[in-house]
Amino acid sequence: MNSYVQTYRPVPGGIPDQDIASTFNNAYATGLAEADPRHQMKKMDRGGLSRGRGHAGQAAIGSAQAVQAGIADAYDQQAQLTGYNANSALNGLAGQEMNAQGLGALQQQQSYADQMAALQRQQTGFGILGRLMS
C-alpha cells in the first residue's frame, strides 16, 4: 500500500513593514511636492504667451488636485502592499493546514494498516489453533 502526500512548500515571505513605510513616505512626499503651483504653471507655459492671473488660478487648482491624487495614491499603494502581505500570510497558513491534514491522513492510514495486520495475525492464530483442535 503506497501513500502519497504533497509536501509543504512555504510561500515566500511578504514585504517587510519597513519597505511598506518607505514606499508610503516616498509617495506621500511626492504628492505633497505637487502642491507647488509653479510646477503646475510650468505645464501651461506656451511660447510667446505671458503668464497671467488666470494661469496662476488654474495652476492653484491643478496643484490642489495633484496633491489630492498624490496622497490618495500613497494610501492606495500602502493598502495594496499590506493586502499582499495579508494574502501571503493566509496562503502560508493554508499550506501548513493542508500539510497537517495530509500528515494526519497518513497517520490514520498507518494506524488502520497496523490494526488490520494485528487482526490478520489473530485470525491466523485462531485458524492454526482450530486445526490443531479438530
DSSP tally for the chain: helices H, then strands E: 3, 0
Q: Do the beta carbons of residue 71 and residue 45 sit within 8 Å? A: no
Distances (CA, A) of 124 to 107, 128, 129: 26, 6, 9
Check pLDDT > 60 for residue 1: no
Q: How far is CA 3 from the centre of its chain?
A: 31
Q: Alpha-carbon distance 119 to 125, whole Å?
A: 10
Q: Do the beta carbons of residue 35 and residue 63 sit within 8 Å? A: yes
Query: pLDDT, tens digit, for every residue of 5-55?
Result: 566 666 667 888 899 999 999 999 999 988 888 878 877 777 777 777 888
Instruction: Quickly tell me which residue has 496662476 as its cell.
Output: 56
Q: Alpha-carbon distance 78 to 58, whole Å?
A: 30
Query: pLDDT, tens digit, for every residue of 51-80?
Result: 778 888 888 898 999 999 999 999 999 999
